[in-house]
Amino acid sequence: MKVAAIYARVSSEQQKEENTIASQTAALVEFAHEQGYSVPDEWVIEDEGFSGASLLRPGLERMRDLAAEGHFRPS
């Protein structure tokens, strides 16, 4: 089975309070499964409270690290 990583981000307090990161993540995982991908728990990556205007976000850094380690390769 193919494997996917999930990245979700919310930046505002309202978004954090409305739990939209959980709904984003759930929708992305469901879509991945529908497309035939498994999603390891450690590859569900979330950044709460980080602006999209900055590329310096812990979750995004984790995604970059996974890519640099060669985890994302075309099938």
Segment 17-26, tens digit of pLDDT: 666 788 889 9
Rounded CA-CA distance 51/62 in Å is: 16
The better pLDDT of the pair 13, 54 is held by: 54
In order, the DSSP letters of 9-71 are EE-SHHHHHTTHHHHHHHHHHHHHHHTTEE--GGGEEEEES--TT-S--HHHHHHHHHHHTT-
pLDDT value at residue 18: 63
pLDDT value at residue 54: 76
Q: Say if residue 75's pLDDT is above 90.
A: no
CATH class held by domain 2-68: alpha beta
pTM of the model: 0.77
44 and 29 Cβ atoms separated by less than 8 Å: yes
